[in-house]
Amino acid sequence: MTMAQNAVKQTNNENLKKNRIQVSNTKKPLFFYVNLAKRYLQQHNEIELSALGMAITTVVTIAEILKNNGFVNEKSIITSTVGMKDEAKGRIVHKARIEIVVEKSDKFDSLMEAAMQQHAYGKVIENNQATVA
């Protein structure tokens, strides 16, 4: 591989990492990841949702919420196993891994704008109630 090809490959890998969300089923609530995915989609046309082991169900649920609400179209799903060293047992343990790539739907921008307007409208009502009371 030439230096130019290496540079292109490295740039592509860096770009992939910028639009990747690695989901854990213990660290953050489900809708943290749903909202994070929406923010990433505002910056990138497609994002990768990935998870290992028990977090796979969480990442599938996130993708389904985004898809069923019309924010994304599913582009690809890749499954594999990853060998990880188990510190307690001192051996390699294979964990299931999933990568779901989704892209913005045609309705994404209008849905986000509607959500922002609804959020702003809710703030106006809260402020008016606080002023009146």
Radius of gyration for the chain, computed over Cα atoms and rounded to the nearest angstrom: 19
pLDDT of residue 126: 53
In this structure, what token pair is assigned to residue 12? 């592509």
Residues 6+ positions from 112 with CB-CB distance below 8 Å? 38, 42, 71
> What are the structural domains of the chain?
3-105 (3.30.110.20)
pLDDT for 44 beyond 90: yes
Compute how many other C-beta atoms are within 10 angstroms of the C-beta atom of residue 111.
15
Give the tens place of pLDDT for each residue, 7-24.
Answer: 444 445 555 578 999 999
Cβ–Cβ under 8 Å, residues 70 and 115:
no
- The reported pTM is 0.75
Cβ–Cβ under 8 Å, residues 53 and 91:
no
Q: What is the largest distance, in Å, between two alpha-carbon atoms of the chain?
A: 70
